[in-house]
Each structure stands twice: as structure tokens, then as C-alpha cells.
Amino acid sequence: MPELSVVIVGGLHVDARKAAVEQLLADVPGSVVLHHDLATAAAGTVVRTVRDADGIRDAGETPLVNDCACCALREDLVPDLERLADAGDTPLAVVELWDSVEPKAMAEVVTSGGLTVTGVITAVDPALLLPYLGNGDDLAEGGLAAAATDQRTVADTFARQLEYAPVLAVLDSPEADDEDRELLAQLHPTARQVPIGHGDLAGAQRTKGMSGAHSPLAHAALAGFDVEAAAAAQHPACALLPTEADAHGVSTLVWHRRRPFHPERLYEALEDLTCAAARSRGRFWLADRPDTLLHWDAAGGALCVESAGPWLASLPDAAWDMVPPVRRAAAALDWHPQHGDCCQHLVFTSPGLDREGLAQLLESCLLTDAEYAAGRDAWKQLPPAFDTLLEV
């Protein structure tokens, strides 16, 4: 029996996502699309459809699980995929995620069910990139929440969808300009971009005699995907963050220092720092919590700060065996003889970025020479300004 290949296609840009799905259906004969529509979740059900190039093969409703639409999706999706695998006549199952569902969770669910994810694709309309990254509204306000308890925003959801996928299906949008395309490139510089749609970009790709499973999008869908590596790449300790860039009015500032922040001064600057860029992320080091690696994640004018566990430098040698190899490797590349992996590594990406002003503001939040020289015991006595944010 041939093994079923599963590709996950997601994204809040609905037109781009549907264009990517339709192109896969056309490019891979015999492929099947599975979609769970969560728009009816408020009424207590999720609508499931299974279709191929000829139309709908199966449709029905599945009840919510624990009042959670995403939980219902998890319970229903794997059995559907298993039935396709058992039938043995489907070369590619396309899992089209509903608007706000994030691909990371679904890729892990499919893999844990014993199935093979061969690709994860986020579909993007470059013209909508900045509006979505700047949208701090709760998903619930736009009817996009996946559960009654869903407190995510449009911006942070879209950022995670974008940055998790190794492949971006980019809609050939006439409204997009060089700034939009440059912003996309700087936000996810390692992603493979595949044009979709009916304009010149897509046409240039499709007129080179490439068809079926050899088309760019189909090739990306079948290329292979490592769920564990993808999860590691999202961890703040070893995330592959964007690099310095400046083109078409878009800049990325990479700010790296070996001195901790003063908690009060950083806290006072949070609003300005959060609003300085369309997207910022990374890891940072607070003087009053010198052993804790902290995660910085900002989009849409809102900042999420979380503890990501201890810095490796604060762990006893015996505990290192329990640390994933990718984490140890990342720390080794950035190891300091005095502070180990403790550092500031923050990345800000935006059109019109005030690089100089931002760098000066960040520098002003670090410990002064005198504060730094006082040592760790003195650092720990500084006012704990981040207790509320970190829910201590």
C-alpha cells in the first residue's frame, strides 16, 4: 500500500489559501482536500468536507469536544486521514486549515497519529501583510476565534502562521509593491516562496513545462517536513531569527548584547519598544532574574513576555544530558566565557524603522557600568518590575 502524503495549508489570507489549495488539486491528480469549517463552532458543531477535483466526496458535522472547535478538529481529522491511507488510492491529502488554526498544532497532531506530513505551507497575500501584522484586535472580534477561551489576536496568530511554515505560497497580488514583498522576505528569510495565482509571476513558473507533481507548489508539498526540527526552530533559545537587512524602505535591526536589562528601565520602555516595529521577537535577559531565559514576542502593538526556562549557563553539568541537542548546539555557537548563553538577542522588522533611535532606547535599558559591576547578588535585589507580566 502506498504511504499517504499529507500537506498542511493554512493562513488567515483566505483568498491566497484557497488559491493554493486549488492549485494543488489541479497539479496532483487524485489528491483530496480535507477542511473543517470552524465558523459554526458557536452553534456547537464543526462542518467537515472532503473533496477532490470533481467535487465534494463527503460532508458532515462533528460536535465540539470540550467546547473547543480545534479539539473537535483533532478528533476528526486523523481518522479521516487514516481512512484515506487505508484505501491506498490517494497520493496527496491536502489539509486546508480554517482561518485562525495554526499549522504547528495540526502538524504535530497528524504526525502523532502515525501519518506522514510531507509539507507545511502558509498562503500569503503580500498586500495584506502589514495590515494583518498591525491588527491587534482579538480574533473573537472578527468571528475568528477557535474556542470561547481563545484570546489570541489577529497579529500574533498571523505571525506564527507565517514563521512556522518553511514554504510560503505567495499570491500574485496586483496591489502588492516592492515594500510588501521586501517585508515578507525579511520576516521569514529562510522560507521558500512559491508564486500562486494567475498573474505574471505564477505564469512564469507554470510555462516552463512544469506540471503535475513537478510543479513548484506540488514539489514543495511533497518535499518532506520534520515536525521536531520545526518545533525547535520556534523555541526562543534556538530560533533561527531574521538577519540584518535594509531595502525598499524595510529594515531589520538585530540587537545583541552581553549585559542584562535593568527591569524598571526596560518596563518603562516597553510601550515604545513594542510599537517601534511591525514585528519583533527574540530572547532577553533581566538582571533581577539572571538565570531565566525570557521570550519576547510582539506584533500588532501588543507584547507577550514569557519565561522559556533556564539559560543553559545556569544548569548543572549533569542536567545538560536532558537538553535537546539542537539547544546545546545553538548555545555553543553563541557561548560567552563569562555569561555562557545569557544575552540579549532581539530582532525588529518594519517599514520605516528608526534603527538609531531604537538602538539607543534599548541601550538605555541595560545596566550601567556601576550596576553591572555590582554583580549578580546586587542584580537580584533590583525591583521586580516584570512580576505582573510573568504572572509570578
pLDDT of residue 150: 84
Domain ranges of the chain: 5-232, 245-379
Has residue 379 got a pLDDT over 60? Answer: yes
Cβ–Cβ < 8 Å for 217, 20: yes
Rounded to whole angstroms, the Cα distance separating 274 from 254 reads 15
In order of 141, 242, 244, 260, the CA distances from 355 in angstroms are 33, 15, 11, 21
Domain 245-379: give its CATH code. 3.30.1220.10
| DSSP per position, 102-114 | -HHHHHHHHHHTT
Q: For 85-117, how does the pLDDT look when each residue is reduced to its tens digit (9 = 90+)?
A: 999 999 999 999 999 999 999 999 999 989 999
Q: For 170-189, how does the pLDDT look when each residue is reduced to its tens digit (9 = 90+)?
A: 999 999 999 999 999 999 99
Neighbours of 124 (CB within 10 A): 32
Q: For 303-346, how does the pLDDT look when each residue is reduced to its tens digit (9 = 90+)?
A: 999 999 999 999 998 888 888 888 888 888 889 999 999 999 99
- Torsion on CA atoms 137, 141, 147, 152, rounded to nearest 10: 0
Give the distance from CA 291 to its chain's centroid: 26
Q: For 115-158, how does the pLDDT look when each residue is reduced to its tens digit (9 = 90+)?
A: 999 999 999 999 999 999 999 999 989 889 887 788 899 999 99
Neighbours of 12 (CB within 10 A): 27
What angle, rounded to 10 degrees, do the helices at 355-364 and 263-275 form? 160
Domain 5-232 fold is: Rossmann fold (3.40.50)
Has residue 273 got a pLDDT over 50? Answer: yes
5-232 and 245-379 in the same fold: no
Q: Looking up cell 507565517, which residue turns up?
A: 162
Q: Looking up cell 500500500, which residue turns up?
A: 1
Categorize the per-residue pLDDT at 40 as very low, low, confident or very high, splitting at 50, 70 and 90: confident
pLDDT of residue 200: 38
